Amino acid sequence: MKDILLYLGAYLFGSIPMGYFLLEFTKGIDLKKSEDGQVGMAQVWKIAGAQMGLIALALDILKGVAAVSLARYISPGDEPDWILAGFLALIGDEFPVFLKFKGTRGIGVGVGVFAALLYWMTHRPSIF
Along the 128 residues of the chain, how does pLDDT read in single tens digits?
778 888 999 999 889 888 888 888 888 877 777 777 677 888 888 888 899 989 999 999 999 999 999 999 988 888 888 899 999 999 998 888 877 777 778 889 999 999 999 988 887 765 55
User: Could you tell me the residue range of the domain that residue 115 belongs to?
Assistant: 2-122
Contact predicate 65/54, CB 8 Å: no
CA dist 53 and 100 (Å) reads 23
**Length of the chain measured in residues:** 128
Q: What is the pLDDT of residue 94?
A: 87
CA dist 59 and 41 (Å) reads 9
Contact predicate 29/56, CB 8 Å: no
Considering the domain boundaries, does residue 118 fall inside one? yes
Helix, strand or coil, per DSSP, at residue 7: helix
Q: What is the pLDDT of residue 79?
A: 84
CA dist 6 and 82 (Å) reads 10
Considering the domain boundaries, does residue 26 fall inside one? yes
Considering the domain boundaries, does residue 69 fall inside one? yes
Considering the domain boundaries, does residue 65 fall inside one? yes
Considering the domain boundaries, does residue 104 fall inside one? yes
Torsion on CA atoms 121, 73, 10, 29, rounded to nearest 10: -100
pTM: 0.86
CA distances from 114 to 25, 79, 118 (A): 29, 13, 6
Cα 6 to the chain's mean position, in Å?
Answer: 15
Cα end-to-end distance, the chain, whole Å? 34
Considering the domain boundaries, does residue 84 fall inside one? yes
Considering the domain boundaries, does residue 127 fall inside one? no
Considering the domain boundaries, does residue 21 fall inside one? yes
The number of domains in the chain is 1
Q: What is the pLDDT of residue 57?
A: 92
